[in-house]
Structure 1
Amino acid sequence: MTNTTTIPTYRGRTYEDIAGAIDHSLLRPELTLAEVEAGCAIAARYRTVSVCCRPVDVTFAHGLLTGTDVAIGTVVSFPHGNSTTAVKVAETAEAVANGATEIDVVLSIGLLRSGEFQRVQDDIAAVVAAADGHLVKVILENAYLSDAEKVSACHLVESAGADYVKTSTGFAPSGATLDDLRLMRASVGPQMKVKAAGGVRTLDAMIDVLDVGCSRNGTIATAVILDDFVARAR
C-alpha cells in the first residue's frame, strides 16, 4: 500500500507559493529596533522569502536572520528616487557590504516624466553594477505615471539589466493595481520579474497578484495572509 500525502492548497497555491513570494516590509520610518526585531521574527517564523528593511537596519537584520533562509533586502533613494546616481551607487554598495542581497531602488521619477530616458537607464545600470550580482528591483511609483510612462519605464529597467520592475513604494497616493501589474508584465520579457507593493494585504489579493504574473509582493500583512492560508487551505 502506497502512502500519499496531499499538500494543502488554496486557489491552487501552496503555503510555499505564498510565503515564497512575500517580501516582509519593515520600512515605516517610526519603527523601533524592537519592532524591527519582531518583524524579522515574523519573517523567519512564516518563512517569507525576504525582509525589506530600512538601510540603517541592514546589519541588525542580517545578524538576526543569519541561519535562516530569509534574504535581506533594503531600499535605495527611498521613497522619492531623487538622489544623484553617485549617492544611489554608494547606498547600494554599502547595503551589499552590510549583508543585503536584494536592492529595491526608486527610479528617477521626475527625469522619466521629463523624457530623459537615457539618464534614467544609466542611473539604474549604475545601481545594477554596484549591486555586484545581487537582485535589483526598480520601483516605478506608478501613482505618478501615465500608462505610456509605465511602459517606457519597464523598457528602461529591462535595458539597464535589473531583475524586477516594482509598482510602488507604499508611500505614494496609491499602490499596486491589477491593471498596472498586467501592463508591467506585458511590457517586459519573460526573464524579467514583477513585484507588487502597496495595499495587497489579504490572502485573496495576494493570490490575485500572483495570478496576473507577479513573483513578489511587498507587504506588512504577512501574518494575516499566511494565517488565513492555513485556516482555509485544504
Structure 2
Amino acid sequence: MSPQQLDRYARMIDHTNLHADAAATDMQKLCAEAKQYHFKMVAINQVQSQRCAEYLADTDIDVGAAISFPLGQTTIAAKVFETEDAIKNGATEIDYVLNQTEVKNGNYDYIKSEMTQMVACCHQHNLPCKVIFENCYLTKDEIKRLALIAKAVQPDFIKTSTGFGTGGATLEDVRLMKQTVGDKVKVKAAGGIRDADTFLAMIDAGAERIGTSAGIKIIEALKQR
C-alpha cells in the first residue's frame, strides 16, 4: 500500500481516548500519536479540549469534543452551552449524543429541534457537527427516522455509537444510515472497530470517518498490505 493511500486512510480516523480516568499524560500521548500517524482528529471528553488544543497547536489535526457524553441525557440548552464552551477552549469538531428518551417517546420534533440547534451552533463557528445515534438502543425504523431528520437538517455526520453502549458499529447499520441520508450527510462508524479488515469493511459500507482507539494497530496492519 502506497504512503499516499495510507495517509488517506489515516485521515479517516478519529483517534480516541474517552476514558473517565485518562490523565494529562494520556492526552499528551494521544496527541503525539495523532501527530505521528497524521490522524484526522483526537476524540476526547469535552473537559480535555483546551489541553489537547495546546498539544496540537500548529498542526492540521482537529480537537473533537464529545458533548453530553455518553448518555445524551441533558437539555438542548445544556448541550449548546457545553458546545460553546468546548469551542471557546479550542475544540474544532463536535460529536454530540442525541436524546434517546425523546426517541423512545416518539418525540421526533424534539430530536429535530435539538439537532437543528446543535448544527447551527457548530456551523456559526464553521465547525463540523456529528450526531451520535447510539444504535444499539434503537430499532431499524428508529435509525431510519433519525437519519431522515439528519437528511433534512444536514449535520456533517451521523454516527453509529459512543463505544460506551451495549454494542458498537455494525455494517448493516452503516449501510442503512448511508442509504437513507445519501450524499447529504456523511456517516461515522465507531465502537468495536479494532482491526484493519473491519476498518475497510466499514468504509466499503459507506462510512467516511472511523472512530477508534485502535488506529495505530489498523494503520500498521495496512502498511503490510
Tell me which interval the TM-score lies in, with the shorter structure as reference length. Answer: over 0.9
- Compute the displacement of 1:157 (Å): 2.1
Q: Which residue of 2 aligns with 1:194?
A: 187
Q: Which residue of 1 aligns with 2:96?
A: 105
Q: What is the count of residue pairs matched by the alignment?
A: 223
Alignment of 1:123-202 (within 5 A): 123-131=114-122, 132=124, 133-202=126-195
Q: Which residue of 2 aligns with 1:81?
A: 72
- Compute the displacement of 1:58 (Å): 0.4
Q: Which residue of 2 aligns with 1:226?
A: 219
Alpha-carbon separation, structure 2, partners of 1:181 and 1:163? 15
- Compute the displacement of 1:191 (Å): 2.6
Q: Which residue of 2 aligns with 1:24?
A: 15
Alpha-carbon separation, structure 1, partners of 2:134 and 2:48? 23
Look at both structures and tell me which one has the larger radius of gyration over its CA atoms. 1
Q: Which residue of 2 aligns with 1:93?
A: 84
- Compute the displacement of 1:28 (Å): 1.0
Q: Which residue of 2 aligns with 1:39?
A: 30
Q: Which runs of 5+ in 1 are unaligned?
A: 1-6
8 Å CA contact 1:15–1:226 kept in 2: the answer is: yes
RMSD, aligned α-carbons = 1.3
* Residue aligned with 2:147, SS: helix
8 Å CA contact 1:140–1:167 kept in 2: the answer is: yes
8 Å CA contact 1:167–1:197 kept in 2: the answer is: yes
Q: 1:209 aligns with which of 187, 195, 202?
A: 202
Alpha-carbon separation, structure 2, partners of 1:146 and 1:191? 22
8 Å CA contact 2:150–2:185 kept in 1: the answer is: no
Q: Which residue of 2 aligns with 1:14?
A: 5
Q: Which residue of 1 aligns with 2:55?
A: 64
* Residue aligned with 1:14, SS: helix
After the TM superposition, list the runs of 4 or more consecutive aligned residues in structure 1 that deviate by more than 6 angstroms: none
Alpha-carbon separation, structure 2, partners of 1:35 and 1:96? 21
Q: Could you report, residue by residue, the CA deviation over 1:38-88 in whole angstroms, capped at 9, with x for unpaired residues?
A: 011111100001111111110010010011111111111111111001000
Alpha-carbon separation, structure 2, partners of 1:20 and 1:8? 14
8 Å CA contact 1:122–1:160 kept in 2: the answer is: no
Aligned amino acid, residue 8 of structure 1: S
8 Å CA contact 2:151–2:184 kept in 1: the answer is: no
Aligned amino acid, residue 164 of structure 1: F
TM-score when normalising by structure 1: 0.92
Alpha-carbon separation, structure 1, partners of 2:120 and 2:185? 17
8 Å CA contact 2:131–2:159 kept in 1: the answer is: yes
Identical aligned residues as a percent: 35
